[in-house]
Chain A
């Protein structure tokens, strides 16, 4: 049983001469090429020997028996294959005839690969461009990129598209390298089977691992989000949640819930939880009530106040200010955006209020907590502000301890 030694596979697989030279140098150290995998090259430990290696490129991912036989009859032993590349070896002392005696003829062997690489590159570039186009639309079309970031629904896709973008760059390198090798061969420049490999071959070798690592970690994000995402019926009493409650605002014992149940959740009186790396605690709430015997002032129907809110606890405080802007933009009509008034508050870091008849909108910041509240009803806006300040205070303190 001989021992197998694994080495990280160079990512620049198109450097044929450098690979041949690398395998020869490894054999001098007693590590003889055995197998080429996706991430590792396997070497068999043995006696140090002077061995020549040649990498052959074929039209298909397999090599024919006929080709192997012809090479073996000439003293070149078949070692292993990786996709379009096939490695043959020969003891230096056996003086086997050179496999390719005509560089221009060898150039033909790269023709098919060169074409495949180009077609793949074009197809992939189009796909990645489409993907990035769609994603950018999601990020920027509403003009609320910080809100999108904090919600975290498209972070994983964005990381993936950046990785794909790198892959496009990598494919461009491969395509160009094979094309230029083909050109060199056509001009009669043979491959240097002893090209120095130390600096060129292993410089980016670690990248595939880095790449796979990021892809793996980013794949956890949506799973994590799915685990943390849920919707519950709001409890009748406070429940220790950092949510501004309709009963506290209205302070009317006649207020009753306006219920709307689907699948055992009262969607008119609910709170939903969410998670993202930039806002690990998130709530979105709706609450609606009805006061029998009281009418809206315009006699349009029974008085039915409601409150909706969004609460974010951010990872980085720096996102608070841009998030405020995005929340206003996302939740308001165009003409409302400019009518928010900034108010100095004793305990809040930032407070913006918009009031228009029975609709009141508030965005408040305290530390890393950002809260948006929209209320329809006749309660006083100052009363609403104090409730927001109190809930946000409790939440910010709880998260700090």
Chain B
């Protein structure tokens, strides 16, 4: 199933976020953990699945392939998709203010 601009899975979102800087498999997992401040520990299977799917969808590309180590980076489309998703998440947060206000009363 190719990406059609709808809500992203958490895994997709964080991989795109981490690939703002080109990176390869194992290190990518660690930078995802870093970016999410330890909240998200992504398994290698999930990462591999997300990478190959997003590569097919053109959200990321292979930047360097020296034999076994493959370095990926985000594409223009990927970055755009990430920003669209970020805006969507932001409005989610905005809309959720009701909750905070409810707490204040």
Contact = CB atoms under 8 A, between A and B. Distances in A.
Given A102-B9, A108-B1, A69 B46 contact: no
Contacts of A109: 45, 49
Nearest to B65: A66
Interface stretch (A71-79, A326-334, A358-366, A375-383): A71-79
B47 A70 contact: yes
Contact of A70 (B1, B9, B48): B48
Interface in B30-86: 41-50, 53, 68, 70
Given A102-B10, A106-B49, A66 B43 contact: no
A394 to B, nearest CB: 77
B43 A101 contact: yes
A204 interface: no
B26 A70 contact: yes
B11 A67 contact: no
B25 A101 contact: no
A111 interface: yes
Contact of B11 (A66, A70, A105): A105
Contacts of A56: 45
* Highest count of chain B CB atoms <10 Å: which of A67, A70, A74, A106: A70
A105 B11 CA distance: 8
Interface string A41-75: 00000000000001010000000011101110110
Interface string A92-124: 000001111110111011010000000000000
A106 B46 contact: yes
B43 A100 contact: yes
A76 B44 contact: yes
B11 A74 contact: no
B62 to A, nearest CB: 10
A105 B49 contact: yes
Given A56-B45, A101-B43, A65 B1 contact: no
Contacts of B68: 65-66, 69
Nearest to A111: B1
A66 to B, nearest CB: 6
A54 B48 CA distance: 15
A67 B48 contact: yes
A70 B25 contact: yes
B22 to A, nearest CB: 16
B45 A106 contact: yes
Interface of A: 54, 56, 65-67, 69-71, 73-74, 76, 97-102, 104-106, 108-109, 111
